Structure 1
Amino acid sequence: MAAISWATLHLKTPTPSLHFRSLPKRHSISTPSLARIRASLIEPDGGKLVELMVNESEKASKLKAAEQLPKIRLSAVDLQWVHVLSEGWASPLRGFMRESEFLQTLHFSSLRLHDGSRVNMSVPIVLALDDAQKTRVGSSSAVALVDDGGDLVAILSDIEIYKHNKEERIARTWGTTAGGLPYAEKAISGAGNWLIGGDLEVVKPIKYNDGLDRFRLSPAQLRQEFERRDADAVFAFQLRNPVHNGHALLMTDTRRRLLDMGYKNPVLLLHPLGGYTKEDDVPLTWRMKQHEKVLEDGVLDPETTVVSIFPSPMHYAGPTEVQWHAKARINAGANFYIVGRDPAGMAHPVEKRDLYDADHGKKVLSMAPGLERLNILPFKVAAYDKTQSKMAFFDPSRAQDFVFISGTKMRSLAKNRESPPDGFMCPGGWQVLVEYYESLAPASNGRLPQPLAA
């Protein structure tokens, strides 16, 4: 299997026009404005990308100093947040949140800077301690953060320890305290009753050694790549599911619209989520294998697409979390963000309904404090058009011609070794999904793949 390049290939089928919902003036892109078209990339939040890696010349002294510090062992999710912080995705945050930052995030979805301006911050980036760890820290002003093997990862200094009110955090982040919220159960409910914040100095870069580290480009590396390509606009698309032709439709037509606005070289940041995801999501390794097949089949233009992995854990917190996803892409250089139906949403963990209103994510993004500089690109829902045998934007005047294939439906088809209709996904990409689900249940039921009923 050929290695995935940073770029994808050319879409072979024509695409209908993308529809941009009417937005407040600060986000409207319906009318071209030459005054807004400039070659330089958007500035990071706070005006400077905050990278928290210790210089090579200082590592020895940091390692020695850490030997005398209380040690806090990081969970897998904690390590992902160290990764996020170290590379500047959460700029201008300089470490795990202290109480004032935590409260601003929970109650205002933003942080006030020294000059009085605000930057968006909608999900807490915090580190929990249990009672025994808090006692061990004692009066120390710094702690050493170590990985599962006991190796030093980072030092957290000028620390502040405060109460971890889990119920308030869960209620404010998800809008419910119902049991079964994946991230809450994974990283909050069983976590310690205290939070520790402070300034982070990362000594050991976070590497996963899964064959995908070459795709984990930092905001600084992404900005360098965009500049190398002479991008005058960057539009970001996040996904946590395999890529199908409906996604390609959205991305290619977005670029066409940006060209119509007057941009000369808009570049796509195709940015799959690479941190914690819930158990029924397709794992990152398999998603990237699937992406490889999609790229080989010629879905996007390699000259105008950069493929990278976003290291953040996933909350599934709907309109609250989608602000974090958008804000982080500002720090990577994106000034346009594509948002679709029910971004970061999920089914209610108890009741048979969606947890969030499907339209609230894009509406919140158009109004969110601290995201005024980001252009939000909402779109119509893409569905399979039976009359054209391809993915197209849904036309309510002929609703009977369309079949909606949700992520849940797609996973169900692959699990049952049933094939989607021609034109939904490239055959090679679909075969990867089938192989993934077969790897979970190796015993074949002997059934051959069947086409989806029209």
Structure 2
Amino acid sequence: MVEQQKPHGGKLIDRTLSNGEAEDIINRANDFQSIEIGPELVKDVENIASGLFSPLEGFLTSDDYERVLYDKRLSSGIPWTIPIVLDLSKEKASNLNPGDEVLLRHNNQPVALLNVDDVYKFNKRVHCEQVFGTTDDAHPGVAKIYQLNDRLVGGKINLLNETSTPFYEYALKPAETRSMFKEKDWEKVVGFQTRNVPHLGHEFIQKTALSLVDGLFINPVIGRKKSGDFKDNVILDSYESLIENYFPQDRATLGIFQTEMRYAGPREAIFHAIVRKNFGCTHFIVGRDHAGVGSFYHPFAAHEIFSEFDEEELGITPIFFKSFFYCKKCRGIANDKTCPHSEEQIVNFSGTRMREMLTNGERPPADSMRPEVADSILKYENPFVE
């Protein structure tokens, strides 16, 4: 019998109300104060409700926020590295008190009910320094924080309505992925985080990790990204092509993680590992410059942060990979541990070069990208976020 991975904190959180309970609250919507939230916060709410952010049951209270900021843990001591917060204006905050129930709306439609625990100030510069390691607003995560309101509200949520997604077939909840892994008889599952289309280096990393476990869960981030990133549907189509043509059909599957990229480098690597643990993964691939942006983090900072946590308390095994390249002499993918040949024989995977070729309607060479993957991208007139 397959022994399943335990959720982070030991219990898979479920904060989704029954249809009857939700309908009752929606019918009384005018009885509640309300807060309008954007699409990224909606996804945070839904990820809390489904248990993907277990053990969180809502937005961080001040005690949890402070511990996460400075200690990378919740007040309970459980590892957690990214503050999941709800911001609101000083004026709105002045009308809220602990114990209040507030309706969270998106496009004026009820999404969730928030039970207010506390409302507190936060220092944006300190937040950025701790989470991103910089206060430079050239960093997209820092720029986002500087745009937030001046107060945060913490408290548990109850989901009333789930928003629609164009990628419904891939939007599996933790309970569903866990059931799927069990049906596939996968006891050991490795998760792969990505916000890019796959080249041969990615495929090699995935297959190397897959050789150690029972199944591979390819889990792209779907949501707000920076300009120049690949569009969500392009990423999904490219991976469908890769799985169909180059993976055993009973050993790899595709599902999405609906959230925004925060580009928090090492802290986000831990957060991504925890999320995949909640999906049911036992292992997690951590590559070069995981969740990085520009030159804000050194290439292997995301590897080093795992040493700050005991593997037992984190509860998921990281698999670290450095850089890979194509060796003409070896006629395959290699790295400096496996290949003795000179630089003249080495073809590095240049994302910039591949993007240029794809932009120009050209298929990257076979030593960089599978032709079927390239063709799935080239069918789009513009595959990049503007």
Q: TM-score, normalised by structure 1?
A: 0.79
Determine helix, strand or coil for the equivalent of 1:81: helix
**Residue among 164, 173, 183 paired with 1:218:** 173
Match of residue 183 from structure 2: 228
Q: Is the 8 A contact 2:119 2:152 kept in 1?
A: yes
Q: State the AA in 2 paired with 1:129.
A: L
**Which residue does the alignment assign to 2:199?**
244
The alignment status of 1:415 with 2:359, answered yes or no, reads yes
Q: CA deviation at 1:139?
A: 7.5
What is residue 341 of structure 2 aligned with on the other side?
Answer: 398
Alignment check: 8 A CA contact 2:86 2:153 kept: yes
Asked if the contact 1:89–1:219 (Cα under 8 Å) also holds between the matched residues in 2, the reply is yes
Letter in 1 for 2:222: G
SS in 2 for 1:314: coil
Alignment of 1:142 onto 2:101: yes
Aligned ranges for residues 217-296 of structure 1 at < 5 Å? Answer: 217-258=172-213, 266-296=214-244
- 1:233, 1:267 within 8 Å by CA — same for their partners in 2? yes
Distance 1:399 1:317 in 2: 35
CA distance in 2, matches of 1:428, 1:92: 40
Letter aligned with residue 323 of structure 2? V
**Unaligned stretches of 5+ in structure 2?**
none
Gaps of 5+ in 1: 1-37, 259-265, 348-353, 442-454
**Greater RCO (Cα-Cα under 8 Å, separation 6 or more):** 1
Give the whole-Å Cα distance in 2 for the aligned partners of 1:440 and 1:299: 25
What's the counterpart of residue 195 of structure 1?
A: 152
Question: Do the aligned partners of residues 111 and 362 (structure 1) sit closer, same or farther apart at CA in structure 2, a change above 3 Å counting?
Answer: same
The letter for the 2-side match of 1:152 is: P
Aligned to 2:222, what secondary structure does the other structure show? coil
Aligned residue for 1:273, secondary structure, equals: strand
Matched ranges for 1:124-203 at <5 A = 124-137=83-96, 141-148=100-107, 150-185=108-143, 187-203=144-160
Rounded to whole Å, the distance in 2 between the matches of 1:239 and 1:219 is 18
1:306-321 residue pairs with structure 2 within 5 A?
306-321=253-268
Shift of 1:440: 7.0
- The answer to whether the Cα contact below 8 Å between 1:99 and 1:162 also exists between their aligned partners in 2 is yes
Q: List per-residue Cα deviations over 1:382-416 (Å, max 9, x = no partner).
A: 21222355433345632412121233332233223
Provide runs of 4+ in structure 1 moved above 6 Å. none
- Cα distance between partner residues in 2 of 1:364 and 1:75: 31
Give the one of 406, 414, 427 matched to 2:371.
427
Q: 1:312 and 1:120, CA in 2 relative to 1: closer, same or farther beyond 3 A?
A: farther
Determine the structure 1 residue equivalent to 2:274: 327
Distance 2:258 2:164 in 1: 11
Q: Give the Cα–Cα distance (whole angstroms) in 2 for the partners of residues 180 and 410 of structure 1.
A: 25
Q: Deviations over 1:76-121 (max 9, x none)?
A: 21112112211111111100111111111111111243xxxx3221
Aligned residues: 382
Share of identical aligned residues, percent?
26
Q: Report the CA distance shift for 1:131/1:418 in structure 2 as closer, same or farther (over 3 A).
A: same
AA matched with 2:248: D
Over residues 263-292 of structure 1, what are the superposed CA-to-partner deviations in whole Å (9 max), with x where a residue is unaligned? Answer: xxx111111111222121101111112222
